[in-house]
Amino acid sequence: MAVLLLAEVTGGELQLDATAKAMTAAAKLGEVTVLCAGASAAAAGEAAATLAGASKVLVAEDASLGHRLAEDTAQLIASLAESYDHILAPATTDAKNILPRVAALLDVMVISDVSAVIDADTFERPVYAGNAVQTVKSGDAKKVATIRTTGFEAAGTQAACAVETVAVPGATGLSDWVEDRLAASDRPDLTSAKIVVSGGRGLGSEESFAIIGALADKLGAAVGASRAAVDSGYAPNDWQVGQTGKVVAPELYIACGISGAIQHLAGMKDSKVIVAINKDEEAPIFQIADYGLVADLFEAVPALTEKL
C-alpha cells in the first residue's frame, strides 16, 4: 500500500511532533511518502526526510500554498492522489480544513480523527464527543483520513531519504490570506507539551489565571482551560481543551478548578497521569484523576508552585 502523508508545515517549518505521530499511524499502512507544502517548504522537506518511516519526501513550493488555504492545498493533493491508496494528515485545524475537501474531490468519504489503525480499511475514531468509540470499515478505493495525534507515539529518526520537488497546479484564486494573529508565548505548544496545567470556571476571573500560569512556568508546562473558563472570558479560545477545543495527552495533566464536564474529559482523558484540584469533592473530574486533592485552588495552586 502506498501512503501519502501531508506534513504539518507552518511558516516553512516542519511541525515535528504532529507529523511524527501521524507518521506512526501511516507507517502501519505501507510505504510512506511525505508531502511538505508551503510558500517555502524545502527546509521542512529536509527535516521530514529524517523521520523514521519516510521512504520519499515531496516538496511543493508556491506562493499560493503559503498559508495552506484549503482550495489550493486540496487541489495539489488531489493532483498527486492517483499514486496512493491512503492520504493522511495529523488532525490539526489546517488538515481538518483541507482533507475533507480532498476526499470530496476524489468522491470518497473522509475518516476524521482516527485514534487507532486496525487494518488498511478499518479504523477507530471517537464519536459523540468521545462518549463512544466507533470502528469503521471503508469501502472506498482510496482512504482519506486525519489522525488524532494523541493516539500514537512519535516516530523516531532515520538517515535522510530522497527529497523530490513536485509541480504545483495553478492557484484557484478563490481565497486570499489577510492576516494571522497567533498567540505569542514562551510556553510550549498545548498539543505537544509534556505537562499541561489547566484552569476552569473555579478560577473566577481572567486575573486569577495568573496562578495557573505561574505553576505552568515553574514546570515548563503549557496552559489549558475548560470551555466554561473560555466561555466566561477568563481564557482565550486557543487554550481550550476538550472535544470542541484541543485534544491533549501529556505525561502530566493538572486540572485546577475544573469540574470535569464530558466535553472537557474528551479532550484530556488520554493523559498519562491526571491530577485534579477542586474544592468540590463530588466533582466528576475526581473519577478519572490519578491523584485528587480536595482544596481551595487559590491556596493549593500557589503552594504547589512554591513546593515543586
Partner 1 sequence: MKILVPVKRVIDYNVKVRVKADGSGVDLANVKMSMNPFDEIAVEEAIRLKEKGVATEVVVVSIGVKQAQETLRTALAMGADRAILVEAADDVHTDIEPLAVAKILAKIVGEEQPQLVIAGKQAIDNDMNATGQMLSALLGWSQATFASELSVEGDAATVTREVDGGLQTIKVRLPAIVTVDLRLNEPRYASLPNIMKAKKKPLDVKTAADLGVDVAPRLTVVKTAEPAARAAGEMVGSVDELVAKLKEKGLV
Binding residues: 201, 226-227, 240-244, 257-264, 278
Q: Please state the closest distance from residue 191 (CB atom) to partner 1, in A.
A: 7
Nearest-5° Cα angle at 92, 86 to 96: 65
Residue 272 CA from chain centroid, whole number:
17
Q: How many residues does the chain have?
A: 308
Residues in 260-299 that interact with partner 1 by CB under 8 A: 262, 269, 273-275, 286-295
Measured from the CB atom, the residue of 4 and 74 that comes closer to partner 1 is: 74
Handedness of CA 116, 118, 121, 126 (dihedral sign): negative
Handedness of CA 7, 8, 10, 13 (dihedral sign): negative
Do 110 and 99 contact (CB within 8 A), yes or no?
yes
Residue 25 CA from chain centroid, whole number:
14
3-state secondary structure of 250: coil
Binding positions for FAD are: 201, 226-227, 240-244, 257-264, 278
Question: Using the rule CB under 8 A, which residue among 17, 31, 71, 217 binds partner 1?
Answer: 71
- 4 backbone dihedrals φ, ψ, rounded to 5°: -105, 120
17 near partner 1 (CB under 8 A): no
Question: Using the rule CB under 8 A, which residue among 44, 69, 235, 283 binds partner 1?
Answer: 69
Measured from the CB atom, the residue of 159 and 282 that comes closer to partner 1 is: 282
Instruction: For residue 25, give the H/E element and its range.
Output: helix 16-27
Question: Using the rule CB under 8 A, which residue among 92, 208, 259, 278 binds partner 1?
Answer: 92
DSSP states of 267-294: HHTT-SEEEEEES-TT-GGGGT-SEEEE
Residues in 170-199 that interact with partner 1 by CB under 8 A: 173-183, 189, 191, 195
72 near partner 1 (CB under 8 A): no
- Number of residues interacting with partner 1: please give it, by CB under 8 A: 87
Residue 26 CA from chain centroid, whole number:
15
Residues in 227-246 that interact with partner 1 by CB under 8 A: 227, 231, 237-238, 243-244, 246
Measured from the CB atom, the residue of 157 and 175 that comes closer to partner 1 is: 175
Residues in 96-155 that interact with partner 1 by CB under 8 A: 96-105, 107-113, 122, 125-140
Handedness of CA 13, 17, 18, 23 (dihedral sign): positive
Q: Please state the closest distance from residue 225 (CB atom) to partner 1, in A.
A: 13
Handedness of CA 13, 166, 63, 101 (dihedral sign): negative
Q: Please state the closest distance from residue 20 (CB atom) to partner 1, in A.
A: 16
Measured from the CB atom, the residue of 112 and 208 that comes closer to partner 1 is: 112
